[in-house]
Amino acid sequence: MTAFWNSPSTVEPKRAYRFFIQNGEGTWWWVKTASKPSVDINESVYKVGNSNIKYPGVATWNDVAITIVDEKARAQKLYLSLQKAGYSPVNSQYVDGFSKTSANAELKAGGNFLIQQINSEGNIIEEWVLYNPWVKSISFSDLDYTSDELSTIDLTIAYDFAIITNPEVT
């Protein structure tokens, strides 16, 4: 059996730092970190005689966490997208036609949300499509005089389900 490090011309492992995030507004160049989708499947246990038989149940897709660098007016754009979605900072009044599908105009602009992993040549080797995504939470980084870190924004993205594609697999 040949390991990938013995034949570098035929196999290249995926690198965690080679990825893009895309939605309707284009490529998010300011993304610092992103988690890939994950799914939990509950189980149902049925008693048959003296035995317990386990069956897979309902799949629940876990939220995706994304950290973006706060550049220019990124925080203001996210805040405005929440207001457009119907979230009122004053007294929580609802906007006419508010629904999950109209929420978070910036994220929903192109419909689905893409997480694309690329190889060293820039070709997409794995693509996750998140269906019906919406911003579940936004957390702005703390300010600190003792640090020279970039100011960031943490997003939690909820979605209904995800599909993975791999263009290199035939």
Domain positions in the chain are: 12-165
- For 56, residues 6+ apart whose C-beta sits below 8 A from its C-beta are 41, 42, 43, 44
Model confidence, pTM: 0.74
Q: In whole numbers, what is the pLDDT of the chain averaged over residues?
A: 81
C-beta separation of 139 from 40 below 8 A: no
> Using alpha carbons only, what angle is made at residue 64 by residues 111 and 62, rounded to the nearest 5 degrees?
105
Going by pLDDT thresholds of 50, 70 and 90, the confidence category of residue 60 is: very high
**Alpha-carbon span 40 to 109, nearest angstrom:** 28
Query: In sequence order, what DSSP letters do the residues of 37-103 get, joined into one string?
Result: PEEEEEEEEEEETTEEEEEEEEEEEEPEEEEEE--TTHHHHHHHHHHHTT--TTT-PPPTT--GGGS
103-155 pLDDT, tens digit per residue, is 444 454 446 889 999 988 989 999 999 998 888 898 999 999 999 999 999 99
Q: What is 12-165's CATH number?
A: 2.30.110
Strand pairing report for 31-34 and 26-27: unpaired
- Mean pLDDT over 88-103 rounds to 46
Residue 82's closest CA among 61, 62, 65, 98?
A: 98
Per-residue model confidence (pLDDT) at position 168? 65
| DSSP state at residue 111 | S
